[in-house]
Amino acid sequence: MRQPLFEKDIGFSTRAIHDGGGDGGDLTPPIHQTSTFILGKSSYVYTRAGNPTQGILERKMASLERGESCVAFSSGMATISAVMLSSMHKGDHFISTDVLYGGTYSLFVDLKRLGIEVSFVDTSRTEEVRDAIGDKTKLVFLETPANPTMKISDIRGISKIAKEKNEDIKIVVDNTFMSPYFQQPLKLGADIVVHSATKYLCGHGDALGGIAVGDEKSVENIRKILVHYGGVISPFNAWLIIRGLKTLALRMKRHEENAVEVAKFLEEHVKIKRVLYPGLDTFPYFGIAKRQMHGCGGMLSFELCSEEDVYSMLQGVKICKLAVSLGTAETL
């Protein structure tokens, strides 16, 4: 992988804007909207295996997550699928957070068809992770904060426990909710970090994408799955996400500011039973959130006192849109 532009440590926004760029002299990188390349004229052969625009995105994300290498995919689920298939075989076992994105949960259940077993445990309790590790355990998958309860797992603590049992166990963290601006799992002991780049990384709700960052060997194995299974990100979507990364720091700060205001408002509302947001000192995982995250992000959950109030609230909101996904300028 190409060396980063800057040898010394520099600010997050500077790396997001300047690091990982191309060599063509363009201030804004071009979109290499081609399926194939002329042999002998380029280091690239076919866009399924690599493309200059994809390469810029991958280098930027490796820099932002402080990893050795990165590979981009067509979606977050394509990314997670490739990570799992590159790490395990028939007869292997892995551990997963019990509360996580529905698509990830469905995939993990479906892996049983391939003879890969999963144990869903409360990974916010490190002792449950320890108890679930067996001789066939190859991987621990953490979604932290978890969707939708915001439950937080101790990345450093779980990594230590797993490596003490077997140093070859991989720790994979879905960092979609925090982005590398607020959390960098590799620095906490994770081996691989994944993102749905559709969300905060893109930030505009106009491109699907996925990211996996880790050491050179792991990423190379993940890339093989990409080439064989074809979950390739389009050059245009890669370019849109590159554009989004330039303002990631600014957007995450504002997302957090807005979330804090909403969380405080909801916490004092008579019809709200509880608010789940890492930035509140009433949040059950407030302590670990302060230790492993640089901020608390823009996602929160809350519980109403009455089920009937849920429907009247959904009918009454004017600005919020009822839609899946997150990380855009709109409130969903």
Same domain, 179 and 279: no
Burial code of 225-262, b = ≥16 C-beta within 10 A, e = fewer? bbeeeebbbbbebbbbbbbbbbebbebbeebbeebbeb
Distance CA 321, CA 256 (A): 19
Closest C-alpha to 18, from 196, 270, 277, 242: 242
- Spatial distance between the Cα atoms of 187 and 67, rounded to a whole number of angstroms: 9
Closest CA to 93 of 136, 47, 50, 129: 136
> Are both 164 and 306 inside the same structural domain?
no
Residue from 19, 92, 154, 174 carrying the catalytic annotation:
174
pLDDT score of 119 more than 60: yes
Average pLDDT estimate for 115-119? 98
Given a contact cutoff of 8 angstroms between Cβ atoms, the answer to whether 194 and 80 are in contact is yes
Residue 63 token pair: 């820099």
Whether 198 and 285 map to the same domain: the answer is no
Are both 93 and 123 inside the same structural domain? yes
The pLDDT value recorded for residue 164 is: 97
More confident: 22 or 251: 251
Is pLDDT at 25 greater than 80 in this prediction? Answer: no
Active-site hit among 44, 101, 105, 181? 101
CB 260 within 8 A of CB 298: no
The reply to whether 103 and 212 lie within a common domain is yes
Instruction: Please tell me whether residues 108 and 125 are part of one structural domain.
Output: yes
- State the total domains in the chain: 2
Domain that holds residue 273: 249-316
Residues 269 and 182 in one domain: no
pTM of the prediction? 0.94
**Residue 5's pLDDT band (cuts 50, 70, 90):** low
Specify which residues 27 forms β-bridges with: none
**Model confidence pLDDT, tens digit, residues 70-106:** 999 999 999 999 999 999 999 999 999 999 999 999 9
Q: Do 216 and 305 share a domain, yes or no?
A: no
> Strand 272-276 to strand 210-214: parallel, antiparallel, or no bridges (unpaired)?
unpaired
Same domain? 25 vs 136: yes
Q: Look at residue 321 and tell me if it is in a domain.
A: no
Cis bond before residue 29 (omega within 30° of 0): no
CATH of the domain at 162: 3.40.640.10
264 is catalytic: no
Is a pLDDT exceeding 70 seen at residue 192? yes
- Cβ atoms of 157 and 188 within 8 Å: the answer is no
- Decide: helix, strand or coil at residue 274: strand
Task: Residue 149: name the closest of 272, 321, 285 by CA.
Answer: 285
101 is catalytic: yes
Pairing of strands 117-121, 137-143: unpaired
Average pLDDT, the chain: 95
Whether 265 has a pLDDT exceeding 60, the answer reads yes
Mean pLDDT of 44-69: 96
Look at residue 129 in the predicted model and tell me its pLDDT: 98
* Annotation says 199 is catalytic: yes
User: What is the distance, to the nearest Å, from the Cα of residue 205 to the centroid of all Cα atoms in its chain?
Assistant: 16
Over residues 164-187, mean pLDDT:
98
- The three-class DSSP label of residue 16 is helix
Q: What is the pLDDT of residue 10?
A: 84
Q: Alpha-carbon distance 140 to 72, whole Å?
A: 21
Residues 62 and 179 in one domain: yes
Section 274-288 average pLDDT: 96
Instruction: Examine residue 4 and state whether it is found in any structural domain, yes or no.
Output: no
Mean pLDDT computed over 99-123: 97
pLDDT at residue 234, as a whole number: 97
Q: What is the pLDDT of residue 23?
A: 66
Catalytic residue among 48, 66, 246, 253: 48
Establish if 290 belongs to a structural domain.
yes
User: Are 281 and 191 contained in the same domain?
Assistant: no
Residues comprising the chain, all counted? 332
Give the ranges where the chain is alpha helix by DSSP (H). Answer: 12-18, 52-64, 76-87, 102-110, 126-132, 155-165, 179-182, 216-229, 235-245, 248-267, 286-292, 307-316
Catalytic residue among 59, 151, 199, 251: 199
